[in-house]
């Protein structure tokens, strides 16, 4: 199915965890999850995963409406800002649009099952989030086109994403903490 994906993760979580007890770090992750899930739900996302220091939101036409790519960009901006304000944590995010398999995946025994989005667009979005700096949302050209998003005045970057054979074009949407 065609969808917009939003991956967001904390910046510097390894060094942050090193500076505090596991319980203190758990409270930081809880604050991140709370702010991120609230923002994703408000943005009409299907929350795919909360794992480690990362969240994944899926924006599908059937749930988010016809403007699902624009909602993904808005949610990414709101998520980065909200997590900084409410949890005091730096986040980077990526938004990409394309076709992915969304449905049940299972292990060989047929007992281990999960709902997941899989495919190149999913992997690429994860790489975008990893490449984003604190307070940045990286928008793929596909996301920009699908959302008819005005990128005039935004920095353009060419990224060498791990596992990708070609450089990848993005626009950098800086998010103010205000």
pLDDT tens per residue, range 40-68: 999 999 999 898 899 999 999 999 999 99
Alpha helices by DSSP H, the chain: 13-18, 22-42, 61-64, 68-82, 120-131, 141-147
Q: Which of 56-60, 70-74, 84-88 has the lowest mean pLDDT?
A: 84-88
Q: Residues of the chain with pLDDT > 70: what percent?
A: 98
CATH number belonging to domain 2-174? 3.30.70.1230
Q: Look at residue 177 in the predicted model and tell me its pLDDT.
A: 58
Prediction pTM value:
0.92
Token look-up 């935004």 returns 154
How would residue 165 be classed by pLDDT, with cut points 50, 70 and 90?
A: confident
């Amino acid at each position: 199915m065609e969808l917009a994906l939003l991956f967001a993760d904390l910046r510097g979580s390894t060094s942050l965890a090193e500076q505090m007890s596991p319980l203190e770090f758990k409270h930081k992750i809880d604050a991140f999850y709370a702010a991120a899930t609230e923002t994703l739900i408000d943005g009409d996302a299907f929350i795919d995963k909360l794992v480690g220091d990362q969240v994944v939101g899926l924006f599908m036409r059937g749930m988010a409406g016809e403007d699902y790519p624009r909602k993904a960009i808005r949610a990414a901006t709101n998520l980065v800002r909200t997590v900084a304000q409410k949890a005091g944590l730096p986040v980077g995010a990526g938004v990409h649009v394309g076709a992915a398999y969304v449905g049940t995946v299972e292990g060989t025994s047929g007992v281990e099952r999960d709902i997941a989005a899989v495919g190149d667009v999913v992997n690429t979005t994860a790489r975008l989030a990893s490449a984003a700096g604190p307070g940045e949302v990286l928008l793929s050209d596909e996301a920009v086109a699908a959302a008819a998003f005005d990128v005039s005045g935004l920095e353009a970057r060419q990224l060498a994403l791990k596992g990708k054979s070609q450089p990848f074009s993005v626009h950098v949407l800086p998010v103010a903490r205000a």
